[in-house]
Chain A
């Protein structure tokens, strides 16, 4: 009788790169698309619907050889404010970053007011963040508020 060998696919720790943890499970694919992870050549592994005391179900993404700029992190913060970043160098966590929504958001979100100049002219959007963690943004131009429900990432 032939012995059946079970193949193990191990998700190994990454040598260098970024681990994004504590993503709300339902936001995983948004995060992937916002960060453009579906179109980069880096090795990426992700898990979703993992148990989490805080979030109920969380997702995690490991991206090898990728380190995010602050503006990219800001984009995650808007839809997954609970996310945490672990920066890995030579298998060690060298830095942990709590993703935080900045006080000002430039060029990331769309103003929900169709009559706003930013939706009618080539003007870069700009907002003051007036509440966190349930996000609401006040447009620097038309002064209207865009809330979490209507938040659209550009």
Chain B
């Protein structure tokens, strides 16, 4: 746990380190598909450290992980607004806000609340997130005007393409996971579902629908 905290701190500081921050933020696609997910990832890494130490009232109030996931959805939506990306570039204070809110208000609640969500809830999140990502990517890909004052139109198109690619990759893997199951127990936990093959489903339909972790 101590080692994990050190790694998290170093990764966090490394991302904030000017040359790396600049090179990731100077390109819209890297900003949206590398830096922001990495910041969320830092929060995810932090979750196991916090888990088990949460105040009991919070665990109870975060019923089925819903408030936590609402926070994740809203915070990530905020940092997808073109104006927010621009502000992060022009104002270091806004960028610092991004560096705090993405790990702590998106990544961490994602890591903590995800496990409280029943499989159907997780499926709902995935099924909304993937098309949304593709739609935003498609918009960036097709928009004839620049949406960010600090990015060129070609960078915007690239970012759109990157988002569509990520959405397609997620969609395809999700398809295979859902319909063919996953062998790795670790990935099963992290990619969301207690995914089962059809045979498993038939024998264990109830937990798939109602959750097996509560």
A, B assembled together: no
